[in-house]
Protein backbone atom coordinates (compact mmCIF):
# COMPACT_ATOMS: atom_id res chain seq x y z
CA UNK A 1 0.00 0.00 0.00
CA UNK A 2 2.80 2.42 -0.70
CA UNK A 3 1.07 4.02 -3.68
CA UNK A 4 0.00 7.23 -1.88
CA UNK A 5 3.42 7.41 -0.21
CA UNK A 6 5.19 7.22 -3.56
CA UNK A 7 2.86 9.80 -5.03
CA UNK A 8 3.42 12.19 -2.17
CA UNK A 9 7.18 11.73 -2.43
CA UNK A 10 6.94 12.67 -6.11
CA UNK A 11 4.74 15.57 -5.22
CA UNK A 12 7.17 16.80 -2.63
CA UNK A 13 9.94 16.64 -5.19
CA UNK A 14 7.75 18.42 -7.67
CA UNK A 15 6.95 21.21 -5.23
CA UNK A 16 10.65 21.58 -4.40
CA UNK A 17 11.60 21.80 -8.04
CA UNK A 18 8.73 24.12 -8.66
CA UNK A 19 9.91 26.39 -5.89
CA UNK A 20 13.47 26.37 -7.11
CA UNK A 21 12.59 27.03 -10.69
CA UNK A 22 9.70 29.37 -10.14
CA UNK A 23 6.49 29.13 -12.12
CA UNK A 24 6.87 28.82 -15.89
CA UNK A 25 5.47 32.33 -16.21
CA UNK A 26 8.27 33.79 -14.17
CA UNK A 27 12.00 34.12 -14.88
CA UNK A 28 14.28 31.59 -13.19
CA UNK A 29 15.77 32.62 -9.89
CA UNK A 30 17.29 30.98 -6.86
CA UNK A 31 15.42 31.53 -3.65
CA UNK A 32 17.04 32.92 -0.50
CA UNK A 33 18.04 30.49 2.26
CA UNK A 34 15.07 31.10 4.54
CA UNK A 35 12.78 30.12 1.74
CA UNK A 36 14.77 26.97 1.13
CA UNK A 37 14.27 26.02 4.76
CA UNK A 38 10.56 26.59 4.35
CA UNK A 39 10.58 24.33 1.33
CA UNK A 40 12.32 21.64 3.35
CA UNK A 41 9.64 21.92 6.03
CA UNK A 42 6.98 21.68 3.32
CA UNK A 43 8.69 18.58 2.01
CA UNK A 44 8.51 16.93 5.43
CA UNK A 45 4.88 18.03 5.84
CA UNK A 46 3.88 16.52 2.52
CA UNK A 47 5.67 13.32 3.32
CA UNK A 48 3.83 13.07 6.64
CA UNK A 49 0.59 13.76 4.85
CA UNK A 50 1.43 10.92 2.48
CA UNK A 51 1.56 8.62 5.49
CA UNK A 52 -1.83 9.84 6.64
CA UNK A 53 -3.35 9.33 3.18
CA UNK A 54 -1.69 5.94 3.13
CA UNK A 55 -3.54 5.05 6.32
CA UNK A 56 -6.87 6.28 4.90
CA UNK A 57 -6.22 4.35 1.71
CA UNK A 58 -5.45 1.17 3.67
CA UNK A 59 -8.63 1.49 5.72
CA UNK A 60 -10.67 2.02 2.56
CA UNK A 61 -9.14 -0.93 0.72
CA UNK A 62 -9.30 -3.30 3.69
CA UNK A 63 -12.98 -2.43 4.15
CA UNK A 64 -13.58 -3.26 0.53
CA UNK A 65 -11.73 -6.55 0.87
CA UNK A 66 -13.70 -7.50 3.98
CA UNK A 67 -16.93 -6.77 2.13
CA UNK A 68 -15.83 -8.76 -0.91
CA UNK A 69 -14.59 -11.82 0.91
CA UNK A 70 -17.27 -12.51 3.48
CA UNK A 71 -15.74 -15.53 5.10
CA UNK A 72 -18.05 -18.50 4.71
CA UNK A 73 -16.23 -20.53 7.39
CA UNK A 74 -17.41 -18.23 10.16
CA UNK A 75 -21.07 -19.07 9.54
CA UNK A 76 -22.80 -20.84 12.44
CA UNK A 77 -25.41 -23.35 11.40
CA UNK A 78 -28.55 -23.50 13.45
CA UNK A 79 -28.18 -27.17 14.40
CA UNK A 80 -24.43 -26.81 14.94
CA UNK A 81 -23.65 -28.82 11.85
CA UNK A 82 -19.95 -28.63 11.07
CA UNK A 83 -18.79 -28.64 7.47
CA UNK A 84 -15.11 -29.17 6.78
CA UNK A 85 -15.00 -27.11 3.60
CA UNK A 86 -16.81 -24.08 2.30
CA UNK A 87 -16.55 -21.73 -0.64
CA UNK A 88 -18.12 -18.34 -1.23
CA UNK A 89 -19.58 -18.47 -4.70
CA UNK A 90 -18.71 -15.38 -6.74
CA UNK A 91 -22.22 -14.06 -7.37
CA UNK A 92 -25.74 -14.15 -5.93
CA UNK A 93 -24.75 -14.05 -2.25
CA UNK A 94 -24.24 -17.80 -2.20
CA UNK A 95 -22.02 -20.20 -0.29
CA UNK A 96 -21.46 -23.91 -0.55
CA UNK A 97 -20.45 -25.90 2.53
CA UNK A 98 -19.71 -29.64 2.46
CA UNK A 99 -18.25 -32.78 4.02
CA UNK A 100 -16.89 -35.34 1.60
CA UNK A 101 -16.75 -38.99 2.67
CA UNK A 102 -14.17 -40.86 0.58
CA UNK A 103 -15.10 -44.28 2.02
CA UNK A 104 -18.52 -44.34 0.36
CA UNK A 105 -18.20 -41.52 -2.17
CA UNK A 106 -20.94 -39.37 -0.65
CA UNK A 107 -20.94 -35.68 0.06
CA UNK A 108 -23.12 -33.81 2.56
CA UNK A 109 -23.70 -30.36 1.14
CA UNK A 110 -25.29 -27.24 2.57
CA UNK A 111 -26.07 -24.59 -0.03
CA UNK A 112 -26.73 -21.20 1.55
CA UNK A 113 -28.31 -18.37 -0.43
CA UNK A 114 -28.34 -15.17 1.64
CA UNK A 115 -30.99 -12.47 1.60
CA UNK A 116 -33.83 -14.33 -0.11
CA UNK A 117 -37.39 -13.01 -0.03
CA UNK A 118 -40.29 -15.37 0.69
CA UNK A 119 -41.37 -15.11 -2.93
CA UNK A 120 -38.06 -16.33 -4.35
CA UNK A 121 -36.95 -19.86 -5.18
CA UNK A 122 -33.29 -20.88 -5.06
CA UNK A 123 -31.51 -23.85 -6.60
CA UNK A 124 -28.03 -25.33 -6.72
CA UNK A 125 -27.05 -28.03 -9.21
CA UNK A 126 -24.25 -30.22 -10.53
CA UNK A 127 -23.99 -30.63 -14.27
CA UNK A 128 -22.39 -34.01 -14.91
CA UNK A 129 -22.03 -34.10 -18.66
CA UNK A 130 -22.20 -30.48 -19.68
CA UNK A 131 -22.10 -27.00 -18.23
CA UNK A 132 -24.68 -24.36 -17.48
CA UNK A 133 -28.35 -24.93 -16.99
CA UNK A 134 -29.40 -27.63 -19.42
CA UNK A 135 -28.57 -31.09 -18.09
CA UNK A 136 -28.03 -29.87 -14.56
CA UNK A 137 -29.11 -31.99 -11.59
CA UNK A 138 -30.69 -29.48 -9.25
CA UNK A 139 -31.60 -29.20 -5.60
CA UNK A 140 -34.51 -26.76 -5.40
CA UNK A 141 -35.86 -24.81 -2.42
CA UNK A 142 -39.32 -23.30 -2.67
CA UNK A 143 -40.47 -21.17 0.30
CA UNK A 144 -44.16 -21.60 1.27
CA UNK A 145 -46.38 -18.79 2.40
CA UNK A 146 -46.57 -20.38 5.87
CA UNK A 147 -42.83 -19.88 6.41
CA UNK A 148 -41.62 -23.41 5.74
CA UNK A 149 -39.41 -24.25 2.78
CA UNK A 150 -40.10 -27.16 0.46
CA UNK A 151 -37.01 -28.94 -0.88
CA UNK A 152 -36.86 -31.37 -3.78
CA UNK A 153 -34.72 -32.47 -6.72
CA UNK A 154 -35.20 -31.56 -10.36
CA UNK A 155 -33.35 -32.74 -13.43
CA UNK A 156 -33.27 -29.77 -15.81
CA UNK A 157 -33.70 -30.89 -19.41
CA UNK A 158 -34.40 -27.61 -21.21
CA UNK A 159 -34.36 -23.82 -20.89
CA UNK A 160 -38.13 -23.92 -20.63
CA UNK A 161 -38.07 -25.94 -17.42
CA UNK A 162 -40.57 -25.26 -14.67
CA UNK A 163 -38.24 -27.01 -12.18
CA UNK A 164 -40.73 -29.83 -11.68
CA UNK A 165 -39.94 -32.44 -9.09
CA UNK A 166 -38.02 -35.28 -10.84
CA UNK A 167 -35.36 -37.77 -9.68
CA UNK A 168 -31.70 -37.04 -10.45
CA UNK A 169 -29.24 -39.20 -12.36
CA UNK A 170 -27.56 -39.99 -9.00
CA UNK A 171 -28.98 -40.82 -5.59
CA UNK A 172 -29.97 -38.13 -3.12
CA UNK A 173 -30.80 -40.01 0.11
CA UNK A 174 -31.69 -36.91 2.11
CA UNK A 175 -32.77 -33.37 1.23
CA UNK A 176 -34.33 -30.62 3.29
CA UNK A 177 -34.36 -26.84 3.35
CA UNK A 178 -35.02 -24.04 5.81
CA UNK A 179 -35.12 -20.27 6.03
CA UNK A 180 -32.92 -18.66 8.71
CA UNK A 181 -32.76 -14.87 9.09
CA UNK A 182 -33.59 -14.31 5.45
CA UNK A 183 -31.10 -16.94 4.22
CA UNK A 184 -32.37 -20.07 2.51
CA UNK A 185 -30.36 -23.24 3.21
CA UNK A 186 -30.61 -26.52 1.32
CA UNK A 187 -29.10 -29.55 3.06
CA UNK A 188 -28.64 -32.76 1.06
CA UNK A 189 -26.57 -35.90 0.84
CA UNK A 190 -25.40 -36.75 -2.68
CA UNK A 191 -24.10 -40.14 -3.76
CA UNK A 192 -21.56 -38.96 -6.32
CA UNK A 193 -21.32 -40.94 -9.57
CA UNK A 194 -18.48 -43.47 -9.33
CA UNK A 195 -15.01 -42.06 -9.08
CA UNK A 196 -15.89 -38.45 -9.74
CA UNK A 197 -15.38 -35.60 -7.32
CA UNK A 198 -15.01 -32.68 -9.73
CA UNK A 199 -18.04 -31.20 -11.45
CA UNK A 200 -19.52 -28.21 -13.16
CA UNK A 201 -21.89 -26.43 -10.84
CA UNK A 202 -24.61 -23.85 -11.36
CA UNK A 203 -26.79 -21.96 -8.89
CA UNK A 204 -29.76 -19.73 -9.42
CA UNK A 205 -32.70 -17.84 -7.93
CA UNK A 206 -35.93 -16.54 -9.38
CA UNK A 207 -39.46 -15.48 -8.59
CA UNK A 208 -42.27 -17.77 -7.48
CA UNK A 209 -45.46 -17.46 -9.47
CA UNK A 210 -48.62 -19.32 -8.40
CA UNK A 211 -46.64 -21.44 -5.96
CA UNK A 212 -44.26 -22.70 -8.65
CA UNK A 213 -40.78 -21.53 -9.75
CA UNK A 214 -40.93 -18.91 -12.49
CA UNK A 215 -38.20 -18.04 -15.01
CA UNK A 216 -35.20 -16.36 -13.40
CA UNK A 217 -34.05 -12.88 -14.46
CA UNK A 218 -31.21 -12.55 -16.98
CA UNK A 219 -29.04 -9.98 -15.22
CA UNK A 220 -25.29 -10.41 -14.98
CA UNK A 221 -25.58 -12.12 -11.58
CA UNK A 222 -27.86 -14.73 -13.11
CA UNK A 223 -25.66 -15.23 -16.14
CA UNK A 224 -22.48 -15.57 -14.12
CA UNK A 225 -23.67 -18.09 -11.54
CA UNK A 226 -21.82 -21.12 -12.84
CA UNK A 227 -18.40 -22.69 -12.45
CA UNK A 228 -16.64 -25.80 -11.24
CA UNK A 229 -16.31 -27.43 -7.84
CA UNK A 230 -13.96 -30.16 -6.62
CA UNK A 231 -15.21 -31.86 -3.47
CA UNK A 232 -11.76 -33.21 -2.54
CA UNK A 233 -9.50 -30.23 -3.12
CA UNK A 234 -12.12 -27.61 -2.29
CA UNK A 235 -11.18 -25.71 -5.41
CA UNK A 236 -13.79 -23.82 -7.31
CA UNK A 237 -13.41 -22.29 -10.71
CA UNK A 238 -15.26 -19.86 -12.87
CA UNK A 239 -17.68 -20.78 -15.59
CA UNK A 240 -17.20 -20.39 -19.30
CA UNK A 241 -19.34 -17.47 -20.56
CA UNK A 242 -18.82 -14.27 -18.56
CA UNK A 243 -17.18 -15.69 -15.52
CA UNK A 244 -14.05 -15.51 -13.49
CA UNK A 245 -11.26 -13.41 -14.81
CA UNK A 246 -13.47 -11.09 -16.87
CA UNK A 247 -15.79 -10.53 -13.92
CA UNK A 248 -12.77 -10.05 -11.70
CA UNK A 249 -11.31 -7.47 -14.07
CA UNK A 250 -14.63 -5.66 -14.30
CA UNK A 251 -14.76 -5.49 -10.52
CA UNK A 252 -11.20 -4.17 -10.36
CA UNK A 253 -12.07 -1.54 -12.95
CA UNK A 254 -15.14 -0.60 -10.93
CA UNK A 255 -13.36 -0.30 -7.59
CA UNK A 256 -10.42 1.70 -9.01
CA UNK A 257 -12.67 4.19 -10.77
CA UNK A 258 -15.28 4.52 -8.05
CA UNK A 259 -12.56 5.22 -5.47
CA UNK A 260 -10.59 7.64 -7.64
CA UNK A 261 -13.02 9.64 -9.80
CA UNK A 262 -16.02 8.99 -7.59
CA UNK A 263 -14.67 9.52 -4.06
CA UNK A 264 -11.10 10.91 -3.86
CA UNK A 265 -11.65 13.71 -6.39
CA UNK A 266 -14.70 15.15 -4.64
CA UNK A 267 -12.81 14.98 -1.32
CA UNK A 268 -9.88 16.81 -2.91
CA UNK A 269 -12.20 19.52 -4.19
CA UNK A 270 -13.78 19.89 -0.77
CA UNK A 271 -10.32 20.27 0.76
CA UNK A 272 -9.58 23.12 -1.65
CA UNK A 273 -12.90 24.83 -1.11
CA UNK A 274 -13.26 24.56 2.64
CA UNK A 275 -9.79 24.30 4.16
CA UNK A 276 -8.39 27.46 2.63
CA UNK A 277 -10.71 29.57 4.74
CA UNK A 278 -8.73 28.62 7.82
CA UNK A 279 -5.59 30.66 8.19
CA UNK A 280 -3.87 27.81 10.05
CA UNK A 281 -4.45 25.53 7.08
CA UNK A 282 -2.14 27.69 4.93
CA UNK A 283 -0.46 26.36 2.89
CA UNK A 284 -1.31 22.82 3.97
CA UNK A 285 -4.66 22.81 2.16
CA UNK A 286 -2.90 23.39 -1.12
CA UNK A 287 -0.67 20.35 -0.69
CA UNK A 288 -3.50 18.17 0.62
CA UNK A 289 -5.51 19.22 -2.42
CA UNK A 290 -2.69 18.29 -4.80
CA UNK A 291 -1.97 15.06 -2.94
CA UNK A 292 -5.63 14.04 -3.09
CA UNK A 293 -6.11 14.93 -6.74
CA UNK A 294 -2.77 13.41 -7.79
CA UNK A 295 -3.58 10.11 -6.01
CA UNK A 296 -7.06 10.19 -7.52
CA UNK A 297 -5.64 10.93 -10.95
CA UNK A 298 -3.05 8.14 -10.86
CA UNK A 299 -5.51 5.55 -9.53
CA UNK A 300 -8.05 6.90 -12.03
CA UNK A 301 -5.67 6.49 -14.94
CA UNK A 302 -5.09 2.87 -13.89
CA UNK A 303 -8.86 2.38 -13.77
CA UNK A 304 -9.24 4.09 -17.11
CA UNK A 305 -6.66 1.75 -18.63
CA UNK A 306 -8.47 -1.34 -17.33
CA UNK A 307 -11.66 0.10 -18.84
CA UNK A 308 -10.12 0.52 -22.28
CA UNK A 309 -8.80 -3.05 -22.14
CA UNK A 310 -12.19 -4.35 -21.05
CA UNK A 311 -13.81 -2.46 -23.91
CA UNK A 312 -11.46 -3.95 -26.51
CA UNK A 313 -11.87 -7.44 -25.01
CA UNK A 314 -15.66 -7.51 -24.96
CA UNK A 315 -16.44 -7.83 -28.62
CA UNK A 316 -19.98 -7.05 -29.60
CA UNK A 317 -20.74 -5.36 -26.28
CA UNK A 318 -20.71 -1.56 -26.49
CA UNK A 319 -21.35 0.81 -23.64
CA UNK A 320 -20.93 3.91 -25.74
CA UNK A 321 -21.90 6.63 -23.27
CA UNK A 322 -19.93 5.06 -20.41
CA UNK A 323 -16.92 4.87 -22.68
CA UNK A 324 -17.25 8.40 -24.03
CA UNK A 325 -17.68 9.90 -20.58
CA UNK A 326 -14.64 7.92 -19.46
CA UNK A 327 -12.50 9.29 -22.28
CA UNK A 328 -13.73 12.85 -21.60
CA UNK A 329 -12.89 12.41 -17.92
CA UNK A 330 -9.38 11.30 -18.71
CA UNK A 331 -8.87 14.26 -21.06
CA UNK A 332 -10.22 16.82 -18.57
CA UNK A 333 -8.29 15.24 -15.69
CA UNK A 334 -5.06 15.44 -17.67
CA UNK A 335 -5.85 19.05 -18.54
CA UNK A 336 -6.10 19.81 -14.81
CA UNK A 337 -2.64 18.37 -14.21
CA UNK A 338 -1.20 20.67 -16.85
CA UNK A 339 -3.21 23.57 -15.52
CA UNK A 340 -1.35 23.16 -12.25
CA UNK A 341 1.98 23.57 -14.02
CA UNK A 342 0.82 26.65 -15.90
CA UNK A 343 -0.92 28.53 -13.16
CA UNK A 344 -0.02 32.22 -12.79
CA UNK A 345 1.16 33.65 -9.47
CA UNK A 346 -1.64 34.67 -7.05
CA UNK A 347 -1.28 38.40 -7.84
CA UNK A 348 -1.02 37.94 -11.61
CA UNK A 349 -3.89 39.64 -13.44
CA UNK A 350 -4.73 36.40 -15.29
CA UNK A 351 -5.00 34.41 -12.08
CA UNK A 352 -8.70 35.28 -11.74
CA UNK A 353 -9.48 33.66 -15.10
CA UNK A 354 -7.28 30.70 -14.30
CA UNK A 355 -9.23 30.17 -11.03
CA UNK A 356 -12.55 30.20 -12.90
CA UNK A 357 -11.21 27.81 -15.51
CA UNK A 358 -9.68 25.45 -12.93
CA UNK A 359 -12.82 25.37 -10.79
CA UNK A 360 -15.09 24.96 -13.80
CA UNK A 361 -13.18 22.01 -15.21
CA UNK A 362 -12.82 20.54 -11.71
CA UNK A 363 -16.56 20.58 -10.99
CA UNK A 364 -17.26 19.17 -14.46
CA UNK A 365 -14.85 16.29 -13.81
CA UNK A 366 -16.49 15.52 -10.47
CA UNK A 367 -20.01 15.60 -11.91
CA UNK A 368 -19.07 13.42 -14.88
CA UNK A 369 -17.11 11.10 -12.58
CA UNK A 370 -20.11 10.50 -10.34
CA UNK A 371 -22.42 10.01 -13.34
CA UNK A 372 -20.02 7.49 -14.84
CA UNK A 373 -19.71 5.55 -11.58
CA UNK A 374 -23.49 5.11 -11.63
CA UNK A 375 -23.43 4.13 -15.30
CA UNK A 376 -20.73 1.59 -14.48
CA UNK A 377 -22.74 0.23 -11.56
CA UNK A 378 -25.69 -0.29 -13.89
CA UNK A 379 -23.50 -2.16 -16.37
CA UNK A 380 -21.69 -4.28 -13.80
CA UNK A 381 -24.97 -4.83 -11.96
CA UNK A 382 -23.36 -5.96 -8.68
CA UNK A 383 -25.26 -6.71 -5.51
CA UNK A 384 -27.44 -3.80 -4.43
CA UNK A 385 -25.27 -3.08 -1.39
CA UNK A 386 -22.51 -1.64 -3.59
CA UNK A 387 -24.77 0.95 -5.10
CA UNK A 388 -26.18 1.70 -1.66
CA UNK A 389 -22.66 2.01 -0.23
CA UNK A 390 -21.67 4.47 -2.94
CA UNK A 391 -24.84 6.50 -2.49
CA UNK A 392 -24.09 6.48 1.25
CA UNK A 393 -20.59 7.85 0.65
CA UNK A 394 -21.98 10.60 -1.61
CA UNK A 395 -24.65 11.57 0.91
CA UNK A 396 -22.04 11.76 3.70
CA UNK A 397 -19.76 13.90 1.56
CA UNK A 398 -22.72 16.08 0.58
CA UNK A 399 -23.74 16.54 4.22
CA UNK A 400 -20.18 17.43 5.23
CA UNK A 401 -20.03 19.90 2.32
CA UNK A 402 -23.27 21.59 3.37
CA UNK A 403 -22.04 22.00 6.95
CA UNK A 404 -18.65 23.30 5.85
CA UNK A 405 -20.28 25.63 3.31
CA UNK A 406 -22.35 27.21 6.07
CA UNK A 407 -19.31 27.40 8.32
CA UNK A 408 -17.26 29.02 5.57
CA UNK A 409 -19.87 31.70 4.99
CA UNK A 410 -20.02 32.32 8.70
CA UNK A 411 -16.27 32.82 8.93
CA UNK A 412 -16.01 34.93 5.79
CA UNK A 413 -18.85 37.22 6.83
CA UNK A 414 -17.41 37.58 10.33
CA UNK A 415 -14.03 38.40 8.91
CA UNK A 416 -15.60 41.01 6.67
CA UNK A 417 -17.34 42.56 9.64
CA UNK A 418 -14.11 42.67 11.65
CA UNK A 419 -12.24 44.26 8.81
CA UNK A 420 -15.00 46.79 8.43
CA UNK A 421 -14.63 47.72 12.07
CA UNK A 422 -10.84 47.89 11.82
CA UNK A 423 -11.06 50.08 8.73
CA UNK A 424 -13.51 52.39 10.44
CA UNK A 425 -16.49 51.58 8.29
CA UNK A 426 -14.65 51.37 4.99
CA UNK A 427 -15.42 48.25 3.07
CA UNK A 428 -12.41 45.98 3.10
CA UNK A 429 -11.68 43.60 0.33
CA UNK A 430 -8.48 42.20 1.79
CA UNK A 431 -9.79 38.78 2.70
CA UNK A 432 -10.09 37.86 -0.95
CA UNK A 433 -6.39 37.92 -1.37
CA UNK A 434 -5.89 35.58 1.57
CA UNK A 435 -7.21 32.87 -0.68
CA UNK A 436 -4.15 33.02 -2.86
CA UNK A 437 -2.21 29.82 -3.29
CA UNK A 438 0.82 28.89 -1.33
CA UNK A 439 3.54 28.30 -3.83
C1 LIG B 1 -20.94 -42.41 4.24
O2 LIG B 1 -19.91 -42.37 5.23
C3 LIG B 1 -20.10 -41.43 6.28
C4 LIG B 1 -18.87 -41.38 7.16
O5 LIG B 1 -18.07 -42.51 7.03
C6 LIG B 1 -21.34 -41.78 7.04
O7 LIG B 1 -21.54 -40.85 8.11
C8 LIG B 1 -22.53 -41.74 6.11
O9 LIG B 1 -23.70 -42.13 6.78
C10 LIG B 1 -22.29 -42.64 4.90
N11 LIG B 1 -23.36 -42.37 3.95
C12 LIG B 1 -24.01 -43.33 3.32
C13 LIG B 1 -25.12 -42.88 2.41
O14 LIG B 1 -23.73 -44.48 3.46
C1 LIG C 1 -24.02 -38.42 -18.52
O2 LIG C 1 -23.38 -39.34 -19.40
C3 LIG C 1 -23.38 -40.66 -18.92
C4 LIG C 1 -22.59 -41.51 -19.88
O5 LIG C 1 -22.79 -41.10 -21.20
C6 LIG C 1 -24.83 -41.18 -18.81
O7 LIG C 1 -24.85 -42.48 -18.31
C8 LIG C 1 -25.57 -40.25 -17.84
O9 LIG C 1 -26.94 -40.60 -17.77
C10 LIG C 1 -25.46 -38.81 -18.28
N11 LIG C 1 -26.04 -37.98 -17.24
C12 LIG C 1 -26.93 -37.02 -17.48
C13 LIG C 1 -27.43 -36.27 -16.33
O14 LIG C 1 -27.31 -36.76 -18.60
C1 LIG D 1 -46.81 -25.30 4.98
O2 LIG D 1 -47.56 -25.54 3.79
C3 LIG D 1 -47.16 -26.73 3.11
C4 LIG D 1 -48.00 -26.86 1.84
O5 LIG D 1 -48.45 -25.64 1.40
C6 LIG D 1 -47.41 -27.96 4.00
O7 LIG D 1 -46.98 -29.12 3.34
C8 LIG D 1 -46.61 -27.78 5.30
O9 LIG D 1 -46.90 -28.84 6.19
C10 LIG D 1 -46.97 -26.45 5.96
N11 LIG D 1 -46.08 -26.27 7.10
C12 LIG D 1 -46.49 -25.75 8.25
C13 LIG D 1 -45.45 -25.59 9.32
O14 LIG D 1 -47.63 -25.42 8.44
Output the domain CATH number for residue 320. 1.20.120
**84 ligand 1 Cβ < 6 A:** no
24 within domain boundaries: yes
Residue 162 CA to ligand 2 center (angstroms) comes to 21
Residue 412 has pLDDT above 50, yes or no: yes
**C-beta of 257 in contact with ligand 1 (< 6 A):** no
Buried b (16+ CB within 10 A) or exposed e, 243-274: beeebeebbebbbbbbbbbbbbbbbbbbbbbb
pLDDT given at position 166: 95
Ligand 1 site, residue 173, Cβ cutoff 6 A? yes
Cβ of 106 below 6 Å from ligand 1: yes
| Shared domain check, 136 and 263 | no
Q: Does residue 415 fall inside a structural domain?
A: yes
pLDDT (average), residues 279-288: 83
Is any ligand 1 atom within 6 A of the Cβ of residue 103? Answer: yes
CB atoms within 10 A of CB 67: 12
Q: Is residue 77 part of a domain?
A: no
CB 195 near ligand 1, within 6 Å: no
Domain identity same for 406 and 423: yes
Average pLDDT score over residue span 163-183: 94
Ligand 2-lining residues (CB < 6 angstroms): 128-129, 135, 137, 169
Same domain membership, residue 221 and residue 299: no
Q: Name beta bridge partners: 107.
A: 100, 190
Same domain assignment for residues 383 and 252: yes
What would the mean pLDDT of 88-107 be, rounded to a whole number?
91
Please indicate whether residue 101, judged by its CB atom, sits closer than 6 Å to ligand 1.
yes
Last residue of a domain, one of 188, 210, 242: 242
Q: Is 102 in the pocket of ligand 1 (CB under 6 A)?
A: no
Out of 219, 242, 265, pick the residue that ends a domain.
Answer: 242
pLDDT 10s digits, 302-339: 999 888 888 776 655 677 889 999 999 999 999 998 88
pLDDT digit string, tens, across residues 38-93: 656 765 666 566 565 555 555 555 544 444 444 687 888 988 888 988 888 888 98
242, 272, 295 - which closes a domain = 242
Query: How far is Cα 286 from Cα 378, in angstroms, rounded to an integer?
Result: 35
Ligand 1 atom with the smallest distance to the CA of 104 is 1
Say how many Å lie between the CA of residue 150 and the centre of ligand 3.
8
Looking at the fold, whether 281 and 162 belong to one and the same domain comes out as no
CA angle 318, 319, 322 (to 5 degrees): 150
Q: Could you tell me if residue 80 is inside a domain? A: no
Claim to verify: residue 252 and residue 269 sit in the same structural domain:
yes
- Determine which of 90-104, 170-184, 230-244, 261-275 has the lowest per-residue pLDDT on average: 230-244
Nearest CA owner, ligand 2 atom 5:
129
265 and 400 within one domain = yes
Distance 129 CA to ligand 2 centre (A): 6
Count: domains in the chain: 2
Q: Write down the pLDDT at residue 326.
A: 93
131 and 209 inside one domain = yes
| Helix 284-313 with 244-259: angle, nearest 10 deg | 160
Answer yes or no: do 149 and 231 share one domain. Answer: yes
Mean pLDDT for 284-293 is 88
Predicted pLDDT at 419: 84
Closest protein CA for atom 1 of ligand 2: 129
- Is 42 part of any domain? yes
- Residue whose Cα lies nearest atom 6 of ligand 2: it is 129
Residue 198 domain-assigned? yes
Burial annotation 285-317 (CB, 10 A radius, 16+ → b, else e)? bbbbbbbbbbbbbbbbebbbebbeebbeeeeee
Range of the domain at 414: 3-67+245-434
What Cα–Cα distance (Å) separates residue 255 from each residue in 88, 130, 220, 223, 299? Answer: 20, 34, 17, 21, 10
Q: Kindly report the average pLDDT of the chain as a whole number.
A: 81
Domain co-membership, 286 together with 315: yes
User: Is the model's pLDDT at 289 over the cut of 70?
Assistant: yes
Give residue 170 CA to ligand 2 midpoint distance, Å: 10
Distance CA 129, CA 225 (A): 18
Residues 104 and 204 in one domain: yes
Q: Is the per-residue pLDDT at 18 higher than 80? A: no
Pocket mutation for ligand 2, best pick of 161, 169, 172, 190 (most atoms within 8 Å of C-beta): 169
Q: Is residue 74 part of a domain?
A: no
Domain CATH number, residue 237:
2.60.40.1210
Cβ contacts of 311-317, under 8 Å, gap ≥ 24 = 313/246, 314/246
283 in any annotated domain: yes
Lowest mean pLDDT among 341-345, 420-424, 430-434: 430-434
Distance 103 CA to ligand 1 centre (A): 8
What's the confidence (pLDDT) of residue 342? 84
Who wins on pLDDT, 15 or 379? 379
The answer to whether residues 195 and 277 belong to one domain is no
Amino acid sequence: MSIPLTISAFLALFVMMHNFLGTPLEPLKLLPTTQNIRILIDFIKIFKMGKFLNLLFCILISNLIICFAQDCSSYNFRNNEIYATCVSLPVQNSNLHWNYHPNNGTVDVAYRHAGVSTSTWVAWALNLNGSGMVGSQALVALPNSNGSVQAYTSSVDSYGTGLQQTPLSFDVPTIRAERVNGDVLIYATLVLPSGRTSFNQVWQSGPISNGAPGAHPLGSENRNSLGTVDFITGQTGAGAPVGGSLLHRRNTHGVLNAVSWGILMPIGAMVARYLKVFKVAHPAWFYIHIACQASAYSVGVAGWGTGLKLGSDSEGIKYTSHRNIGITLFALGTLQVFALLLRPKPDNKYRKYWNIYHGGVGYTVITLGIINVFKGLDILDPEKKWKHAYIGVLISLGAIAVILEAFTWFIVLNRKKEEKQVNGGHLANGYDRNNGQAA
